Amino acid sequence: MASAHRYTFSQRLLHWLIALLVLGLLAIGFTFWGLGYQGVVDTFGQDTTNDLYKYHKTFGILLLLLMVLRVALRRMSPPPAYEQPLPGPQKAIARGTHLLLYVLLLGMPIGGWLATAAGGFPVQFFDWNLPGFIGKDEALSEQLFMFHGYAGLAVAALLVLHIGAGLRHWKRKDGVMKRISLP
């Protein structure tokens, strides 16, 4: 149950599960982007590379499912009031940052799914192959993967802003961090 100034426990738990998933997905994604396929194979070996790809896809699909659940929960239970109201510009930045994160964290898994399918690769969810929804088109795959990577950079930048704001509120002890903390 939420208090007047706190998200529900399920919303708070989802926030932190999604945060962990996003950090892991970004770490794997930036490894792929930085090293390229052959670089990942040379660094980690073929079996580990295959596992990294499989789990990046798997956790991306989990992220999509959790984000859909999060949006549904947010529609059923809107954000709680702030203990100390935020000034207008801070409130606008917070809303904009959250909106962009929601859009990107819904769009990136979908884009990755389509890029994978267009590349002719299996869309894996653990040990199952999911439907690709589109046929093989290498040019489209390349474009979608490029956008997927740029979206990852945007998410990383937004996370820096989001975490920085959270640390600022934690230092100020203004009740904002209590809204989303687990205990």
Whole-model pTM over 0.85: yes
Of 12-26, 101-115, 150-164, 167-181, the one with minimum mean pLDDT is 167-181
Which among 125, 128, 127, 98 has a CA at the least distance from the CA of 109?
125
Domain-wise residue ranges, the chain: 9-180
Going by pLDDT thresholds of 50, 70 and 90, the confidence category of residue 5 is confident
Q: How confident is the model at residue 2 (pLDDT cuts 50, 70, 90)?
A: low
Write out pLDDT tens, residues 108-147: 999 999 999 999 999 999 999 999 999 999 999 999 999 9
By three-state DSSP, how is residue 178 classified? Answer: helix
Side chain identity, residue 167: L
Q: How far is CA 113 from CA 10, 64, 98, 177, in A?
A: 27, 10, 23, 34
Statement: 9-180 belongs to CATH 2.40.50.100:
no
Instruction: State the CB neighbour count (10 A cutoff) for residue 148.
Output: 22
Q: Which residue has the higher pLDDT, 146 or 3?
A: 146
Element (H, E) at 125: strand 123-125
Mean pLDDT of 151-159: 98
End-to-end CA distance of the chain, in Å? Answer: 13
> Residue 1 pLDDT more than 70?
no
Q: What pLDDT sits at residue 78?
A: 86
Burial per residue of 74-97, b for 16 or more beta-carbon CB atoms within 10 angstroms, e otherwise: eeeeeebebeeeeeeeeeeebeee
For position 82, what pLDDT does the model report?
87
Mean pLDDT of all residues in 155-179: 94
8 Å CB contact between 137 and 117: no
Question: What does the pLDDT look like over 61-87, one tens digit per residue?
Answer: 999 999 999 999 999 988 898 888 889
Average pLDDT over residues 33-47: 97
Average per-residue pLDDT in the chain? Answer: 95
Given a contact cutoff of 8 angstroms between Cβ atoms, the answer to whether 89 and 23 are in contact is no
